[in-house]
Amino acid sequence: MISFSTNPDHVTDLPAFNDFQLAVQGMLEGHSSDEELVKVQQQLDLVMGQVLFYFAEQVHFQPASPELEQQARLVYRRIDGVRDEAELACKAALIPSEEEANLHLDAARQELVELLKVFADIKAVEEARPKFSPLPWVHELCRVAVACRQGELSEEHLAERLETSQQIHQNATFSIPQVPSLIADRERWRELIASMQASLAEIGQGLEAVAGFLRDGDLEALDAGLEQCMSGAERLTEDYETVKRLEEEQPGLQCPMCSEENPLGAARCAHCSAQLPRLSDVEEALGQAVVSWPSHVQSLVQSLEGLQGGSRQPGEVLGQVQQMRERFSKGLRDFQALKVPEQGLSPEELDLLEDTRERVLQGGQVAILALERMARAIQEEQWDFLNGATEQFLQQVDGLLEALPQ
């Protein structure tokens, strides 16, 4: 669900609406120009569009339910209400008609209050749900397992998530002992590595229990397995935090090759040029990074992984790729049809908008071509070709996320 922290500058208290109220009052009192008021109103309209986008992204792949449908109707209605009443207030202030402007301004404010109430209710429901684990991949496994048990997701979803978790766990089990010492006290470092290995072994037992549930349907074994996964993940995170604290407390970093001390944060040893260990080595080994792709892109990535792991059928994944292509094509058409409001914008702002427009259009076209390559690779079972096309597609997604306003 949408979180107020998704876009703090716009979603928490919507300062864009506060700016709009001031601009309307300034226009009525003769302190603001027509251009300033129109610009502020357009900015509010853009912000409300962003709020709607974030909400839609959060709920896009949630199981359909009457509650979700009701929430969506309320959100859409309230956002449209804010936009419509703000536009009418702007037009009335430009006449000027103080009584009419204040009437619509009050109506817009009330719509916003009701919208924030809807988001507050959604947030309360979200916070009431169990917080499974600080490690993203363990958290996601637990979330999917609970949803599977409640009938919201199928066992196929859980099997896919389990396969991904097993791969990350295997990589962590192999990588953690290989991480060079980040702290000068080598004995303490060995203790921390041993503790992390024990935690990973506990998570491994939990993953085996989840796999047993998929074979035998033993709910008690599933619950015990999830408890093991969460317990191991908690201790892993505690050890990571200890490493982070100890590294920050020491004056420098000892080179694993020549044992000379280097400043914290240095990439290579100043004495022998050897690459120095980094805290991110531990983060990567633990699978601690959170994927920042939108939910529909992440879902496609998981399906592609499941396809090559044997848990997804080619026809099903091919359909998902084609849906993604249609989604991108529609998005590009809508973006091309979008009119850039020239009124109230400076030449620099217009240049920035045009540059962003070109970047999005070019990146979107390349992403569509990559999706077409992915579809052909699935049809012909050319997995190396599929991996290359997938990597190209994800690079374009990253580029689009950078280009679009946050």
- Label residue 135 left, alpha or beta by phi (over 0 means left) and psi (-120 to 50 means alpha): beta
d(CA 220, CA 226): 10
pLDDT tens track for 216-242: 888 888 989 999 999 999 899 899 889
Q: Domain count for the chain, please give it.
A: 3
Q: Which residue has the higher pLDDT, 403 or 174?
A: 174
Residues 66 and 121 in one domain: yes
State which of 257, 286, 315 marks the end of a domain: 286
Residue 97 maps to a domain: yes
pLDDT at 5: 34
329-368 pLDDT, tens per residue?
Answer: 887 887 777 665 556 667 777 777 777 778 788 888 888 8
Instruction: Note every long-range contact of 378-387, with CB atoms under 8 Å and residues 24 or more positions apart, other chains counting.
Output: 378/307, 378/314, 378/317, 378/318, 378/321, 379/314, 379/318, 381/314, 383/308, 386/304, 386/308
Whole-number Cα distances in Å, 237 to 108, 134, 283 = 45, 7, 10
Nearest to 358 by CA among 336, 339, 343: 336
* Alpha helix stretches (DSSP H) within 176-278: 186-216, 219-249
Query: Are both 348 and 327 inside the same structural domain?
Result: yes
The pLDDT score that the predictor gives to residue 10 is 39
Whether 62 and 89 map to the same domain: the answer is: yes
CA distances from 384 to 96, 131, 374 (A): 65, 38, 10
Q: Is residue 37 part of a domain?
A: yes
Q: Are residues 121 and 163 in the same domain?
A: no
pLDDT at 268: 83
- What are 242-282's pLDDT values in tens digits? 998 888 888 888 887 888 888 877 778 888 888 888 887 88
Do residues 12 and 96 share a domain? yes
Which structural domain range is residue 358 located in? 295-403
Whole-Å CA distances, 220 to 51, 79, 160, 216, 338: 41, 45, 21, 11, 54
In a shared domain, residues 210 and 187:
yes
Quick check: 45 and 87 in contact, CB under 8 A? yes
pLDDT score for 208 = 95
Distance between CA atoms of 239 and 197, rounded to whole angstroms? Answer: 11
244 located within any domain: yes
Convert 52-63 to b/e letters by CB count within 10 Å (16 or more is b).
bebbeebbeeee
Q: How confident is the model over 50-58, as a mean pLDDT?
A: 75
Q: Are residues 89 and 197 in the same domain?
A: no
Asked if pLDDT for residue 97 goes beyond 70, the answer is yes
Task: Give yes or no for residue 308 having a pLDDT over 80.
Answer: no
State pLDDT tens for residues 111-153: 988 888 888 887 777 666 555 556 878 887 887 888 788 776 7
CATH number of the domain residue 75 falls in: 1.20.120
Domain-embedded: residue 69: yes
Q: What is the pLDDT of residues 365-392, one digit of tens each?
A: 888 888 998 888 888 888 778 877 887 8
Closest CA to 367 of 405, 324, 307, 337: 324
Residue predicted with more confidence, 181 or 356: 181
The answer on pLDDT for 90 being more than 80 is yes
Q: How far is CA 209 from the centre of its chain?
A: 29
Domain boundary among 286, 316, 331: 286
Residues 202, 72 share a domain: no
Average pLDDT over residues 75-96: 91
Task: Answer whether 255's CB lies under 8 Å from 274's CB.
Answer: yes
Structure tokens at 150: 């409640």
Same domain, 225 and 317: no
Tokens read off for 16: 């864009």
Task: Give the tens place of pLDDT for each residue, 184-212.
Answer: 888 999 999 999 999 999 999 999 999 99
State whether residue 282 is helix, strand or coil.
helix
Question: 253: which DSSP letter?
Answer: E
In a domain, 120, yes or no: yes
Question: What pLDDT is attached to residue 143?
Answer: 79
Q: Are residues 29 and 99 in the same domain?
A: yes
Whether residue 266 is found in the same domain as residue 352: no
Domain end point (choices 128, 159, 188): 128
Q: What is the CATH number of the domain that holds 371?
A: 1.20.58
